[in-house]
Structures are given as C-alpha cells and as structure tokens.
Amino acid sequence: MIDKNLIMAKAGKVDGHLRRIKAKRSVKLKEFLGDLDIQESILFNLQMAVQNCIDIAAHIISDDELGVAGSTSEMFYMLQENGYLTPELTEKMVAAVGFRNLVTHEYGKIDLTKVYQIAHKDVDDLEEYLGAIFRKCGMG
C-alpha cells in the first residue's frame, strides 16, 4: 500500500524547491548568465526537485509491487504503464531525469541558456507530475 504521508512529504520538498527556483528566476537572461549564485541556486533546486520526483516514483513502484526498474528513467515508463502518467508527461519526466543526470555528473557541459529556459517553463512539468500522482493515489 502506498504511504500517502511519504508522498506528501516528498511533494512538499518538490514544492519548496520549485518556490526557490521561481524566486530566483525573475531576472533577465543576461543577469542570469552573469550571476553564479543565481545559477547555482537554480541548478541545485532543479536537481533536488527532480530527485524528489524520482523518490516518489521509486516508492510507488516498490509499494505497488510494479516490478524492478532497470534505470531511473524506466521508473516513469512503469508509472505510465500502470496508469499514473500520460505518455507526454512520461517523456517530460524522462527529460527531467536526463537533465538531472547532466547536472549531477557533468557540470561543465551545462548550457546555462537552457537552464534559464527550464527554470521559466519546464518546472511546470514537475507540478504536473505531482498532480498526476495525487489524482491516481486519490489525494487530490
């Protein structure tokens, strides 16, 4: 049985990281590109928000006994196969995992213009993910 309290706690962390991203993203691209503190804050909070979404997926897969994922990205496909996510949202989450992996393992290769774009547009995907999970788990 899915532990709804755990999902809520992890969702609360995602929400907190998204709030910090939104607070820091309200600068023009030129300022963002020149401010290491804003860059690092947004990158860290993006990484942590995605990680908490991964943690939610892992918990659901484990508690619902959906199988064993071969990779982090595969977890989102497993959620899709079991009615938690739409194919479109699954692809967005797989892309988020790819970005998180880039931030975590290859910091020097990050396109800061892309980070700026993600902070302004793609963070909404994580909120959409939480909404889908809440609906499927009868939490919203």
The reported pLDDT for the residue numbered 108 is 65
Please report, in tens digits, the pLDDT of each residue of the chain (140 residues total). Answer: 899 999 999 999 999 999 999 999 999 999 999 999 999 999 999 999 999 999 999 999 999 999 999 999 999 999 999 999 999 999 999 999 999 998 888 766 899 999 999 999 999 999 999 999 999 999 97
Distance between CA atoms of residues 41 and 99, nearest Å = 15
- Identify whether the C-beta of residue 60 lies closer than 8 Å to the C-beta of residue 79: yes
CA distance 66 to 60: 8
The Cα–Cα gap between 128 and 93 comes to 10
pLDDT of residue 56: 98
Instruction: Show me where the domains of the chain are located.
Output: 4-136
Superfamily in which the 4-136 domain is placed by CATH: bsu32300-like (1.20.120.580)
